[in-house]
Structure formats: structure tokens, C-alpha cells
Structure 1
Amino acid sequence: MDEKLDALLEKYTELMVGDTTEELKQKLEVYALYSHIAKSMPPLVKHWHELYPDTKEEMKRLFHEIKQMNEAHRNKE
């Protein structure tokens, strides 16, 4: 299952940002997991941010970076 999930993550990364480096895959994995948790359990994310206040800004930067890469990738097509 690990190989199949990795293949899914690799394709997701390629479709989102146009490249599939290990660093990008890791960023998109964090992005996807955080997005899902934030939508399905907002109180958990709020609690997590209270425990680790710096993470909120880190996640904002990550989301902004991925958004920019995604827009650049879409504009190439």
C-alpha cells in the first residue's frame, strides 16, 4: 500500500505544482493532511495552534507558497 499511496501523492504533487521532487511531495503531503484535518475537525486544529503558536504562521507560509506554485503551474498550461 505504501507504494500505491506514494504514487498517488506523486501524481497529486505533479498536478498541483508541475514537479515531483521529494521536498515538494513532503510539502504537499503536509498541505493535504492539514487541509483535511482543518476541515473535518476545526477544534483540533485550534487546540494544536494553541499548543504550538508558531505553527499557524508556518502553515500560512506553506499554503501561500503552494498557492503561488499552483498558479504558476496553471499559467504555464
Structure 2
Amino acid sequence: MVGNDWAMQFLADILNITVERPAVRETTALGAAYLAGLQCGIYENLADIEQNWALEHRFTPKMEPEARKGLIHGWQNAVDRVKTC
């Protein structure tokens, strides 16, 4: 999903937040490796690790509030229709 520009922009729009895509897209695996490196003494502190992080692209909300509200309302209606309890 992180590689899909449309999905990232939609996420930023629907949540009305800025979404940042890191240069390394396998961030979860990289984070585990960084924590292991921190534990083993390869990195002294979190600041050493933060220096390695790089931004690839920043997605900022562009959707109009009324459009966002309409999409969220439609999603909520769809969820209500499929609830079994």
C-alpha cells in the first residue's frame, strides 16, 4: 500500500492528516533491525538511528471537508448494512 500514491493521498485526505512515506518502504523490518542494533551496541541511542531515516514523499490533505464528510458517511452506512449483531 505504501507504494501506491493514490492510496497514500486518499489516506491523507480521508484522515485529514499529513502522511509521510519513508525512503525505505520496509520500515517495520528496518525498525526491528535498528532495535537489535541498539541492543547490541551498534547504535548508542535513538538519535543515531533517526539520522538514517529519510523522507521519500509527503502527502498533504487536499480533499474538501464536505467531500470527506460524504465519503465517511457513505462508509459508515456500508458498515451498518453488513453488521450482523
Decide: shared fold, TM above 0.5: no
Between 1 and 2, higher relative CO (CA 8 Å, sep ≥ 6) is seen in: 2
Structure 2 length as normaliser, TM-score?
A: 0.29
Structure in which a larger fraction of residues adopt strand: 2
Bigger Rg, which one: 2
TM-score, L = length of structure 1: 0.31
